Amino acid sequence: MRIAIDVMGGDHAPHAHIESALSAAAQWPDTHLILVGNPEVIQPLLGNAAPANISIEPALEVIGNDDEPVKAVRRKSDSSMVVAGRLVKDGKAAAMISSGNTGALMAVGLLVVGRLKGIERPGLAPMFPTLDNVGVLALDMGANMDAKPEHLLQYAMMGSLYRNKVHGIEKPRVGLLNVGTESAKGNELTKTAYELLENAPINFIGNVEASAVLDRQCDVLVCDGFSGNILLKAMEGAASTIFKLLRQELTSSFTSKLAAGVLKPNFRNVRRKMDYNEHNGAPLLGVNGLVIKGHGSSDAVAMKTAIRQARTAIGNGLIAALTDEFNGK
Amino acid sequence: MRIAIDVMGGDHAPHAHIESALSAAAQWPDTHLILVGNPEVIQPLLGNAAPANISIEPALEVIGNDDEPVKAVRRKSDSSMVVAGRLVKDGKAAAMISSGNTGALMAVGLLVVGRLKGIERPGLAPMFPTLDNVGVLALDMGANMDAKPEHLLQYAMMGSLYRNKVHGIEKPRVGLLNVGTESAKGNELTKTAYELLENAPINFIGNVEASAVLDRQCDVLVCDGFSGNILLKAMEGAASTIFKLLRQELTSSFTSKLAAGVLKPNFRNVRRKMDYNEHNGAPLLGVNGLVIKGHGSSDAVAMKTAIRQARTAIGNGLIAALTDEFNGK
């Protein structure tokens, strides 16, 4: 199987990407990794030790985090992200991974790779951390701001298939993000979506409140892109504030400083557990090929996790299963 | 001034409510407190020491947390919450305070007290905690699930007036909850609302992301009731999860237990700071009288804070100012 990696996007590009590619190529000889980017940058980092299952696909432009997504994708046709998307579109790679500009990657999915037949709006599906360390796949997290009930139904079905094919969950429990657990709760969107989900061929468990997401009542959480963004960033903001307050409090006296020093590794563990994005790639579900978004701050370990994820999804025929499910609908 | 207190609603009813009323009556002789509830329950708790500026208004029914809001308000016409609302409606009290069923209180606001002329949808406006301890007034937090841009405009104007009259902020900074800071970001609702807010007679500072709410970039945060609920509960959920993870981590070894024991008061401080609801009543803005929601777990200190809040709002003519602003519009 062939996987394209945008080695120019993300905070630790290109070093982390090339390091992870070398490690992955050694571990999985059946996988060919295509490093997309500037060869003059990539070649010296690869050195002479580049294995046969790594190749370079030249792309001289880079889409930055401040680039306006759609404009950048249209104008920078020789950017690493667009070229990687084109490899998927042309069937030269089964998947692409990028930890660059999220908006631009969603635009690459729509405009370069293209929608999966039958899907109206692709959705971005990161994993949230849960207390039990298993995680919840939540979609959409910002690709589709004005979702219709039918879009939420498609998210539910795509999320279920993903959890089944990639994580081996037999009947993934699907929850609907809502303001209360009763079926009559919510806005017009969630009330109508509730009825659709109830009658869909999925394991729908009902509404899930934002306060209960991390308790993992469900395996797939469905929501519109606006609410999803609020959910994700509210949790990020609360976590960041709590850690700031803890820092203030724990450095307020000599004794507390001493005690806090002892607990430093414990605090680090908690912080890492809450960093749901860091170690999981988020698939853009609903495009005609596998597009995986790595967190902007992905290091080599995170990039390799994304490669592993792509391998599992390809190996288990995720895109073929999605195509079967929606084709002609 | 006369303030009605629903002494039957909330986790610590009626004890905390009566304790706070006695303390408030002693501190503010110009304030008459009307305790609404079952006299047979209230009288023994008041004892013989009840001051002249406390009276009892009999109400024999109670709306519970599991009651369906609108149905309960319609059927339980002799409930403490409905009777308190009627006192405001009839001009016999300038404000009512309840820490009972939130949905029912919003229904009391709409169906018993009535909308303020010119206001389409009232909004619930709790304070969020901020790192600097000042707080952000956020509305709507769940009264209006399918808000229109015009509703958000009214929330912005009502929130500004509240911050001005009750907290003395001269030109409250108003922010719009959104998925990015650029003006073109968001869904149809926020894009249209952005234009309305830009042209309104308020100090509009633009979009605020959910991750930045606790940094207090604004004094008033405007959003629809659905997103507001997601924001509020996502923060609650993240905070609760972090504290659970900390507990797990800090009791994982003998050393960490010892160190954590030293830091107990510090942890408690952080937790209390994040409990934004606990010590602030949330006004239901847009009804024709002052209706204040206390947190369900309000103790006597929190209830007294709500009474103080009501006094300030009444003393500074909040409802008259809101009436002037919207009357005839």
Q: Give long-range contacts, CB 8 A cutoff, 24+ apart: A40-44.
A: A41/A7, A41/A8, A41/A14, A42/A7, A42/A14, A42/A18
Task: Report the C-alpha gap between A314 and A291 in whole angstroms.
Answer: 11
Cis, peptide link before residue B51, omega less than 30° from 0? no
Look at residue A16 in the predicted model and tell me its pLDDT.
93
Look at residue B276 in the predicted model and tell me its pLDDT.
60
Please check whether residue A157 is in contact with residue A193, taking contact to mean a CB–CB distance below 8 angstroms: no
Task: Report the C-alpha gap between A11 and A3 in whole angstroms.
Answer: 21
Of A147, A156, A154, A210, the closest CA to residue A180 belongs to A210
HSE-up of residue B141 (Cα within 13 Å, Cβ side): 23
> At B144, is the secondary structure helix, strand, or coil?
coil
Task: Report the C-alpha gap between A298 and B285 in whole angstroms.
Answer: 45
B152 touches chain A (CB under 8 A): no
- pLDDT at B329 > cutoff 70: no
Whether A238 and B188 lie within 8 Å, measured CB to CB: no
Task: Report the C-alpha gap between A181 and A132 in whole angstroms.
Answer: 22
Task: Report the C-alpha gap between B138 and B230 in whole angstroms.
Answer: 13
Task: Report the C-alpha gap between B283 and B109 in whole angstroms.
Answer: 10
Buried b (16+ CB within 10 A) or exposed e, B99-135: bbbbbbbbbbbbbbbebbeebebbbbbbbbbbeeeeb
**pLDDT for B104-140, tens place per residue?**
999 999 999 999 999 999 999 999 888 777 889 999 9
Token couple for B284: 């239901």
* DSSP state letter for A210: G
Please check whether residue B25 is in contact with residue B31, taking contact to mean a CB–CB distance below 8 angstroms: yes
Strand-strand pairing, B282-285 and B290-293: antiparallel
Vertex A267: Cα angle to A253 and B264 (nearest 5): 45
**pLDDT for B79-100, tens place per residue?**
999 999 999 999 999 999 999 9
* DSSP-derived secondary structure for B116-138: PTT-SS-EE-PEEP-TTS--EEE
Token couple for A202: 């999925």
Whether A210 and B227 lie within 8 Å, measured CB to CB: no
Look at residue A329 in the predicted model and tell me its pLDDT.
47
Neighbours of B262 (CB within 10 A): 16
Nearest C-alpha in B relative to A276: B238
B window 217-276, beta carbon within 8 A of A: 224-227, 229-242, 244-246, 249-250, 252, 255-256, 258-260, 262-263, 266-267, 269-270, 273-274
Which one of B194, B213, B217, B229 makes the best mutation probe of the A interface by having the most chain A beta carbons within 10 Å? B229
- In angstroms, the separation between the Cα of residue B296 and the nearest Cα of chain A is 16
Of A154, A202, A149, the closest CA to residue A178 belongs to A149
> At B19, is the secondary structure helix, strand, or coil?
helix
Look at residue A87 in the predicted model and tell me its pLDDT.
98
Whether B246 and A210 lie within 8 Å, measured CB to CB: no
> At A218, is the secondary structure helix, strand, or coil?
coil
Q: How far is CA A305 from the centre of its chain?
A: 11
Of A194, A172, A192, A171, the closest CA to residue A181 belongs to A194
Cis, peptide link before residue A140, omega less than 30° from 0? yes
A320 touches chain B (CB under 8 A): no
Look at residue A279 in the predicted model and tell me its pLDDT.
63
Q: How far is CA B110 from the centre of its chain?
A: 16
Strand-strand pairing, A123-124 and A282-285: antiparallel
ipTM: 0.91
pTM: 0.92
**pLDDT for B196-247, tens place per residue?**
999 999 999 999 999 999 988 999 999 999 999 999 999 999 999 999 988 8
**pLDDT for B269-305, tens place per residue?**
888 887 765 667 899 999 999 999 998 888 898 899 9
> At B268, is the secondary structure helix, strand, or coil?
helix
Nearest CB partner across the interface for A266, out of B241, B256, B270 = B256
Identify the H or E element spanning A123.
strand A123-124
Average pLDDT value for residue range B8-13: 92
Look at residue B260 in the predicted model and tell me its pLDDT.
85
Please check whether residue A219 is in contact with residue A173, taking contact to mean a CB–CB distance below 8 angstroms: yes
Nearest C-alpha in A relative to B249: A266
Each residue's pLDDT, cut to its tens digit, for chain A (329 residues) gives: 999 999 999 999 999 999 999 999 999 999 999 999 999 999 999 988 789 999 999 999 999 999 999 999 999 999 999 999 999 999 999 999 999 999 999 999 999 999 999 999 999 999 988 877 788 999 999 899 999 999 999 999 999 999 999 999 999 999 999 999 988 899 999 999 999 999 999 999 999 999 999 988 999 999 999 999 999 999 999 999 999 988 888 888 888 888 888 888 888 888 888 776 556 789 999 999 999 999 888 889 889 999 999 999 999 999 999 999 998 54
Nearest CB partner across the interface for B245, out of A232, A233, A273 = A273
- pLDDT at B323 > cutoff 60: yes
HSE-up of residue A270 (Cα within 13 Å, Cβ side): 24
Task: Report the C-alpha gap between B11 and A153 in whole angstroms.
Answer: 39
Task: Report the C-alpha gap between A96 and A87 in whole angstroms.
Answer: 8
Of A207, A221, A217, A137, the closest CA to residue A179 belongs to A207
| Residue corresponding to tokens 């929850």 | A175
Strand-pairing partners, residue A309, are none
Nearest CB partner across the interface for B262, out of A241, A244, A255 = A255
Q: Which chain B residues are closer than 8 Å to A258 by Cβ?
A: 262
Give φ, ψ of A263 to 5 degrees.
Answer: -90, 0
Nearest C-alpha in B relative to A223: B230
Domains of chain B: which residue ranges? Answer: 1-116+286-329, 120-277
Sign of CA pseudo-dihedral A163, A168, A174, A177? negative
**Same fold for the domain at B1-116+286-329 and the one at B120-277?**
yes
Q: What is the CATH number of domain A1-116+286-329?
A: 3.40.718.10
Q: Which chain A residues are closer than 8 Å to B146 by Cβ?
A: 187-188
* CATH 3.40.50.720, applies to B120-277: no
**pLDDT confidence of B25, banded at 50, 70, 90?**
very high
Look at residue B252 in the predicted model and tell me its pLDDT.
84
Task: Report the C-alpha gap between B149 and B176 in whole angstroms.
Answer: 11
Query: B20 or A49: which carries more pLDDT confidence?
Result: B20
Work out how many CB contacts closer than 8 A connect A with B. 177
Look at residue A278 in the predicted model and tell me its pLDDT.
59
Task: Report the C-alpha gap between B245 and B255 in whole angstroms.
Answer: 17
